[in-house]
Copies of this chain bind each other. A is one copy, B any other.
Amino acid sequence: MARNSPAPRSAKSRAGIRPLPGRARSENGNAHSDLMNGEIGLDALAGHAGYAVRRFQIWVFQDFIRTLGAVDIRPTQYSVMTVIGANPGLSQMAVAKRLGIERARLVHLLDSLEQRDLVSRVKSAADRRSHALHLTARGRTALAQFKRLAAEHERHVAEKLGKENRKKLLQILSDFT
């Protein structure tokens, strides 16, 4: 892809990815075109969990994409492979429902994973409408590597939030997984 940092991985070389604004603005000396005082208030937005969560999620996904850029795997692809790896033989509907992905979209996700020989669709004998999903041999090897990189990404999250905060966050959101 070249776009999203083939990067030496750690580095955080922010390839094409914009750093979060707001905080960053105070680093350079310009405040003329913004406001006289240089700070733009969020008003009611500051009290909305959804706003903070959206901004955080963008940061996390960008770090994930960057950290797994060398293997060209995005968060959704990783989640699909992980669930199939842990539950071989699942149908597409089962995976879609479990991960909250539209079944129509899962079709394309699987097309691309299948083309890369990471996942295979096996005609189910029991119900010939459905496909049993499995990782290929190559997929299993690849997933192991993806998991190592994803663990590295997770360390970035822990660095950013603090170990205890990350733990607390996972606990607070445990109902949504």
A residues adjacent to B (C-beta < 8 A):
18, 20-23, 25, 33-35, 40-61, 64, 75, 79, 82-83, 85-87, 89-91, 93-94, 97-98, 100, 127, 130, 147, 150-151, 153-154, 157, 160-161, 165-166, 168-170, 172-177
Contact = CB atoms under 8 A, between A and B. Distances in A.
A118 to B, nearest CB: 16
A29 to B, nearest CB: 15
Contacts of A33: 91, 93-94, 127, 130
Contacts of A157: 49-50
A35 B79 contact: no
Nearest to A173: B52
A177 B89 CA distance: 42
Contacts of A34: 90-91, 94, 97-98
B50 A94 contact: no
User: Main secondary structure on chain A at its contact with chain B?
Assistant: helix
Contact of A49 (B55, B60, B83, B94): B60
Contact of A79 (B25, B45, B90, B168): B45
A165 B154 contact: no
